[in-house]
Structure formats: structure tokens, C-alpha cells
Amino acid sequence: MKTIILPGYSPHNRDWAIELKKNINLGHEIMVHEWRHWKNSLSLSTSLSLNYELKKIREEVGEDEFNIIGKSVGARIAIRVITELREKVNKVIICGVASISVDSQKAYIKALTTFPPDKIIVFQNSSDPIVPYSKVKVFIRNISPEIIIIEKPRSDHHYPYPTDFLKFLSE
């Protein structure tokens, strides 16, 4: 078993992921996925390539069963990973859903309608400036009313909830 953390897009999310990794001890390997544009000297001018990132994630998780913690764009990538590697995905934590567009809804439906709802949990801040909890709740409920959605009392797009994440992954 492994756990892979798929952070948000901007480089400051690396710090969030590294801190999260330090604070969740699951007795197995925990990896922080580094987006290609973080490593590139051109930084954010290198756009996100879904195919490139999926290939790297496949290499990182190998043949092992794994958990996913996805934040923001990492949540959207996590949904694609579920679709492509469903048989290896154990549990999924989604936090900071950043898009509830029609395209996002299609991707979430494709991934979550056949994924066990007790193996996924969503955390969204009450007043997340990108998408608030109230809108994420409706979005997820329309896909699967059985998925647990946790509202957190913050007004930013930061998700410092290692205790909650650890509890879910340890159950």
C-alpha cells in the first residue's frame, strides 16, 4: 500500500503537501507528486500536461494498491487516476474542489458512479473563494448522494486537515 498526494497547481502547494506528508503516518510509503512545471526553470509558464502527469503517477505508484489525497487541480487529476487505475485505488480524499463545470461534472460522473462511495470523502471549506462548500455539496450530491462531504469552517483554499485525513485513511 502507498499513498500519493496530488497537490494544487501553484508551487506553494508543495509546502502544503510536504507538511501533510510529515503529519500522516500510515505505516506505508507516502509520496508527494511533483508537477512538471514545479521542476522546470520556466516555472508556471510550462502548462500542465494531463498525459505527462498521469504517466508519472503510474510510475510512482507502480503495481501497488494506493490511496490518493488530491487538492484543487490535484483533485481533478485524482478523478482521472480513479478512472484509469480503478483496480489499484483503495481510498480517495478530495479537498478543495476547484471546478464544478460541465466538463468537471462529466469526469466526476465517469469516475465516481462505479467507485465505492464509502472509499471516498470530500472536504471543502465553507467559504472557499474558488468554489464554496454549498456549491460543492450540490455538485457531489448530484453525482452520488452516498459520498460523504465534510464542511470545514475556513474562508480560503487551504486544507490543513491531516488528522481528518489520517482518520479516514486508517478506517
What does the pLDDT read at residue 56? 94
**pLDDT given for residue 46 in this prediction:** 59
> Can you tell me the distance from the alpha carbon of 90 to that of 171, in angstroms, rounded to the nearest whole number?
12
Interval 106-143: pLDDT, tens: 999 999 988 999 999 999 999 999 999 999 999 999 99
Relative to beta strand 89-95, strand 29-32 is unpaired
Provide the 8-state DSSP code for 44: G
In the chain, what are the domains? 2-170 (3.40.50.1820)
In this structure, the dihedral spanned by the alpha carbons of residues 61, 58, 32 and 41, taken in order and rounded to 10 degrees, is 150
Q: Are 107 and 84 in contact (CB under 8 A)?
A: no
Tell me: the pLDDT tens digits for 83-107? 999 999 999 999 999 999 999 999 9
The pLDDT tens digits for 30-59 are: 999 998 877 765 545 557 788 889 999 999
pLDDT score recorded for residue 10: 86
pLDDT at 111: 94
Which pLDDT score, from 0 to 100, does residue 45 have? 53
